[in-house]
Structure 1
Amino acid sequence: MGTLYMVATPIGNLEDITMRALQTLRDVEVIACEDTRHTQRLLIRFSIQKRLIACHAHNEEASAAGIIKLLGEGNSVAFVSDAGTPGISDPGARVVQAVRAAGFPVVPIPGVSAVATLVSVSGFTGKTFTFEGFLSPKSGRRKKRMEQLLERGEAFILYESPFRVVKLLKELAELAPDRRVLVGREMTKVYEEFYEGTASEVAANFSQRQSVKGEFAICISPQETGFGKLQEDS
């Protein structure tokens, strides 16, 4: 019986891949990936040659059937997204559901996750936080959801593209101008940047930049007084 391995891959720096992940990629017969070209660069870096099949957000349900067929033939399959841990704001959840329902084992190969990476350097998440991922691209829905998250009294983590991040930060500043915010840009990569301040300060900084590039993760503190208040309450 074949096994499906959910393999976490680096979010930027290829040296962050685990030894177990590399061994798994070497051992399986097939690798299902979000973008075959992207994954091929990772495999070339570590001298791994494997059969690749595409499994992305637009074909995940159909690909699950193909993966189940491979597993039924006795093949082991590794599933990877473009970066980080599969199934976290990335394809993978539907494949896992289908494979498990078909009676095949699913094994996690843990590693890097952008949300965990940002939380580890934020200093103000407290005991609990909400991971929201990408908000709606529509302004009205996005602002309404942010209002709900701000009212929950706990830190929350967002992902955003460089095309909408300034709009998101401005909207956040309108809703909670004094809330502490940490922005992680291009984490683990050459141009990695962490910028912390109030929502107003962060929005102003990124609004004044001539260009905004990279992948963004944003951590919003539980209350306006931020880390100092957390220390007082502990």
Structure 2
Amino acid sequence: MKGKLFLIPMTLGDTEIDQVIPNHIQQLIPDIKHFIVENIRTTRRYLKKVNQDINIDELTFYELNKHTSPKDISSYLNAITNHDIGIISEAGCPGVADPGADVVKIAHTKDIQVVPLVGPSSILLSLMGSGFNGQNFAFNGYLPIQAGDRSKKIKQLDNRSLNEGQTQMFIETPFRNMKMIEDLLQNCSPATKLCIAADITLESEYIKTMSIQAWKNKVPDLHKRPAIFLIHREK
């Protein structure tokens, strides 16, 4: 019988497993012996945190990153003829802003059953906590690094939010968070609402929504903290 492809969520940081990973998923994980993962070391630590009795040496890991070729990904799925396979991202839910989507795409062409499992997603949790439009939103990933291109993109997203009522979401490498905030304050309309969500599900979780004008007097220290940014501008 052909195995299934399970999309296994990971914690977003050093959070207690029971707080964010449902019990039935914790019970499922030890039965899976083949994993396609973004980071083998991180995955090993996570699996032992889920269940100390898991024998890591008995497991097979296939590493997945932006350099992995479609041919290699396809070969990873060969084991599914006799075994279930789990996909585990570096953090959060695989397949969402994550290379795991490439595995899922190929799995569908091979008529492999894909099973997404419930877990923490910084994208959805930040949207829930923002107070912005949750029926019309766009996740834009990383914005351009070059200053001119980034300013232009921010202004485009700000105007799109105004014209379409669409919540605009994006992320940044943690050590560049403060520069991101600076660019947002410079390029968005003063009336635009900005939500900053950092350390989601951690004890240090921070979620705050204010106007760009208000943020200028109250910029938090987000250096090296995982964060997601959302803007929304009403007519």
- How far, CA to CA, are the matches of 1:129 and 1:140 in structure 2? 25
Give 1:69 deviation, angstroms: 1.6
Q: 1:21 to 1:141 in 2, by over 3 A?
A: farther
Give 1:168 deviation, angstroms: 2.0
**SS of 1:191 mapped into structure 2:** coil
Structure 1 stretch displaced more, 88-97 or 12-21: 12-21
Give 1:83 deviation, angstroms: 1.0
Q: 1:140 to 1:45 in 2, by over 3 A?
A: same
- How far, CA to CA, are the matches of 1:184 and 1:31 in structure 2? 30
| Match of residue 125 from structure 2 | 117
Give 1:79 deviation, angstroms: 0.2
The runs of at least 4 aligned residues of structure 1 exceeding 4 Å deviation read none
- How far, CA to CA, are the matches of 1:154 and 1:118 in structure 2? 15
1:168 matched to 2:180? The reply is yes
One-letter code of the match for 2:36? A
1:133 matched to 2:141? The reply is yes
1:25 matched to 2:29? The reply is yes
Q: How high is the TM-score relative to the length of structure 1?
A: 0.84
- How far, CA to CA, are the matches of 2:134 and 2:112 in structure 1? 38
| Match of residue 66 from structure 2 | 57
Give 1:20 deviation, angstroms: 3.1
Give 1:78 deviation, angstroms: 0.4
**SS of 1:79 mapped into structure 2:** strand
Whether the 8 Å CA contact 2:37–2:63 is kept in 1: the answer is yes
Give 1:122 deviation, angstroms: 1.2
One-letter code of the match for 1:107? V
Structure 2 unaligned segments of length 5 or more: list them. none
One-letter code of the match for 1:39? T
Q: CA RMSD in A?
A: 2.2
| Match of residue 209 from structure 2 | 196
- How far, CA to CA, are the matches of 2:233 and 2:61 in structure 1? 43
1:212 matched to 2:220? The reply is no
Give 1:158 deviation, angstroms: 1.4
| Match of residue 100 from structure 2 | 92
Query: How many correspondences in the alignment?
Result: 221
- How far, CA to CA, are the matches of 2:28 and 2:216 in structure 1? 42
Whether the 8 Å CA contact 1:89–1:134 is kept in 2: the answer is no
- How far, CA to CA, are the matches of 1:126 and 1:46 in structure 2? 32
- The one of 61, 71, 88 equivalent to 2:80 is 71
Q: How high is the TM-score relative to the length of structure 2?
A: 0.83
One-letter code of the match for 1:84? G
Give 1:203 deviation, angstroms: 5.2
